[in-house]
Amino acid sequence: MFTLPNLPMFLLAGLILVLTPGPAVLYIVTRSLDQGRVAGLISVLSIEIGNSVHVLAAALGLSAILMSSALAFMIIKYLGAAYLIYLGIRRLFTNIPHESIAPAKPQSLRRIFAQGVLVAVLNPKTALFFLAFLPQFVDPAQGSIAGQFLTLGGLLVLMAFVTDTMFALLASTFNQWFKRTPSLLHADRYVVGSIYIGLGVTAALTDAKQH
């Protein structure tokens, strides 16, 4: 049975990240504003299914790498830490215009679901994020590597499901207010940038102290 000594830090970092609006939230909010609550909830479900595919791929791929070479896994952790720092710096210095939310063309619920899954699964940035983020909280000494990946990834998807559902419900209930305040979806510049950098630096320093 494995333990997760970094679980409190993971939950805090994960909660901050999923609460911060990004492309997936923009998709969910747009569908909720345009077609109502049911369409918004369908889009939430589709996005989390797509994210689960990335979690499973990361768990299987990185577990196989660790079993073949502990050094290779450590290199991936350092590369992941560097990538998180890069994302943070880029986010801090990139000013995204506060454009309004463009209305989406009405679509069937089946199409909304399929499109949401594709949006999540085919987004290479999502895959890179999971590959960089999850290994920072995995400790080979604590037991099953695949189990740790799946547990952490599952928790992150679960948190995202809850917060994305909240965004969908809020958008469908207060749609006029959301339309008048599009800057809410772009308020993540300093929060996410700082979180990414902090995670990357902490992971790099922690690994350095262990060797």
Q: How far is residue 130 CA from its own chain's centroid?
A: 7
Residue of higher predicted confidence among 184 and 93: 93
CA-to-CA distance for 194 and 47, rounded, in angstroms? 25
Structural domain containing residue 80: 7-209
- Identify whether 27 is part of a domain: yes
- Identify whether 165 is part of a domain: yes
- Identify whether 131 is part of a domain: yes
- Identify whether 106 is part of a domain: yes
**Total domains present in the chain:** 1
- Identify whether 58 is part of a domain: yes
Average pLDDT score over the chain: 77
CA-to-CA distance for 43 and 144, rounded, in angstroms? 33
Query: The pTM is what?
Result: 0.72
pLDDT at residue 43 tops 90? yes
Angle at alpha carbon of residue 12, lines to 40 and 38, rounded to 5°: 10
What digits encode the pLDDT tens for the residues 142-159?
777 788 889 899 999 999
- Identify whether 2 is part of a domain: no
- Identify whether 1 is part of a domain: no
- Identify whether 13 is part of a domain: yes
